[in-house]
Chain A
């Protein structure tokens, strides 16, 4: 069965600290996609990144970076030099490539990040 686990429920850091949000997934499919979404206090869900299972190359976008490791079924998200505006709930999600599954996202429980000035 498919499952996404974000073991960290809440993380609190001080501005400018680096922080890593963990994500572990389970799937029997060989082709799948992993996502991170941000949910700021205003409530909307903002797409951050998508990776497919064949591409283990790490990705960096500004202060954000993602580490995908198939060997440990993990897709971790690091924010470098955190800022107060990074305070939000971050969700990791999995989508499989099966016709009868459509494109549904399976979400983790989310990690609430609080960045204090």
Chain B
């Protein structure tokens, strides 16, 4: 158990809908990262928050947004969903904002768009 929690574990929704994925980091970690894992793109970094502020952005679509709240949990919002958004979404946390710290991953949310 990494100490990172993600809900829900599975999500099935229809095209055009909007969903919210939730992540709680390990106790004491200030950074939260979101990654997408799909068969064609592999594991890709989406976005990082550090202590409530956006820190780095990767290949995140404009239809996707995220935020980190004062209690450090984070939410990833996916809107106008398309079939291609079906993937495993991971949240990870680390104590620092830069690359020197290992990231611990949550169990993931499997999103299926039908």
Q: Which residues of A contact B (CB under 8 A)?
A: 32-33, 35, 37, 43-47, 50, 52, 91, 95-110
Q: A103-B31, A110-B42 are in contact. Are A97 and B48 (CB under 8 A)?
A: no
Find out whether the CB atom of B56 lies under 8 angstroms from the CB atom of A100.
yes
Find out whether the CB atom of B98 lies under 8 angstroms from the CB atom of A105.
no
Size category of the B interface is 20 to 34
Task: Please measure, in the bound complex, the distance between the C-alpha atom of A114 and the C-alpha atom of B90, giving whole angstroms.
Answer: 24
Within 8 A of A (CB), among B1-45: 2, 31, 33, 35, 42-45
Find out whether the CB atom of A109 lies under 8 angstroms from the CB atom of B105.
no
Residues of B within 8 Å of A33, CB to CB, are: 99-100
Residues of B within 8 Å of A103, CB to CB, are: 31, 33, 48, 55-56, 94, 96-101, 103
Find out whether the CB atom of A105 lies under 8 angstroms from the CB atom of B100.
no
Find out whether the CB atom of A101 lies under 8 angstroms from the CB atom of B56.
yes
Q: Which residues of B contact A (CB under 8 A)?
A: 2, 31, 33, 35, 42-45, 48, 50, 55-56, 58, 88, 90, 92, 94, 96-108, 110
Q: How far is the CB of B92 from chain A (nearest CB, A)?
A: 8
Residues of B within 8 Å of A110, CB to CB, are: 42-43
Partner of B45 from A32, A47, A106 at Cβ < 8 Å: A106
Partner of B99 from A47, A95, A107 at Cβ < 8 Å: A95
Q: How far is the CB of A10 from chain B (nearest CB, A)?
A: 14
Of chain A, the residue at the smallest CB distance from B49 is A102
Task: Please measure, in the bound complex, the distance between the C-alpha atom of A47 and the C-alpha atom of B33, giving whole angstroms.
Answer: 15
Find out whether the CB atom of A97 lies under 8 angstroms from the CB atom of B56.
no
Q: How far is the CB of B74 from chain A (nearest CB, A)?
A: 14
Residues of A within 8 Å of B104, CB to CB, are: 47
Residues of A within 8 Å of B58, CB to CB, are: 104
Task: Please measure, in the bound complex, the distance between the C-alpha atom of A52 and the C-alpha atom of B99, giving whole angstroms.
Answer: 10
Q: How far is the CB of B97 from chain A (nearest CB, A)?
A: 6
Q: A52-B100, A102-B50 are in contact. Are A107 and B105 (CB under 8 A)?
A: no
Task: Please measure, in the bound complex, the distance between the C-alpha atom of A43 and the C-alpha atom of B58, giving whole angstroms.
Answer: 23
Of chain B, the residue at the smallest CB distance from A35 is B102
**Nearest 8 A-B pairs (CB), nearest first?**
A102-B56, A95-B99, A45-B105, A107-B43, A104-B45, A102-B55, A102-B48, A103-B99
